[in-house]
Amino acid sequence: MRQEIRFAGFGGQGIVLSGYITGKAAAVYDEKQAIFTQSYGPEARGGACSAQLVVDTEDIDYPLVSQPDITVIMSQEAFNKFAKDSKPGSTMIVDQDLVETDMEGENVYRVPMTRLAEEMGKRIVANIVMLGAFTAVTGLISKDAMLESVKSSVPPKTIDLNVKAFEAGYEYARQQKEGS
């Protein structure tokens, strides 16, 4: 079943790495098909950037994301630019401290990704907190596959921190999903 995903935020948040890790988790560890693309605004750091991913259990015949089934947004600028492109009724996950929106519904999740990372003393792992939340909310990629992909994609000395960040996002979103 084809699923179109867009991760969006600003340059420097690890958005592109998040897309890469998710595609790797799907293709290498969950034995699905995946195609990953990325785009940046004119600024490398600070400008809006996005990572697009198509995941399917069958061969993928069209590689581009047109209307995402799942959109994950980590900055206001990215929300303003990309949220409108999402498929009606699609799943939306936003960093609740960095994105202001009045969107409501059973498919809208607000997760304090950056704050959870800051509580661990490393804001830089907010994208991994986001991947934990994404995994818990969507179930598209198995938790084991995503964790293996995270561990094999980050510097070895940061594996423990990244696993802790993933688990924090996963648990927060799991509890939110169960409460809705």
58-75: b (≥16 Cβ within 10 Å) or e: eeeeeeebeebbbbbbbb
Residue 12 is predicted with a pLDDT of 86
CA–CA distance, 79 with 9 (Å, rounded to integer) = 8
The answer to whether residue 180 scores a pLDDT higher than 70 is no
**Any idea which residue has 């519904």 for tokens?**
105
Taking each helix axis from N to C terminus, what angle separates 15-24 and 143-153, rounded to the nearest 10 degrees? Answer: 120
Q: List, in order of start, the domains of the chain with CATH numbers.
A: 3-179 (3.40.920.10)
pLDDT of residue 45: 59
2-48 residue pLDDT tens: 999 999 998 889 999 999 999 999 999 999 999 999 876 555 556 77
Give the model's pLDDT for residue 175.
94
**Token pair of 154, please?**
């980050």
pLDDT by residue (tens digit) across 72-97?
A: 999 999 999 999 999 988 999 999 99
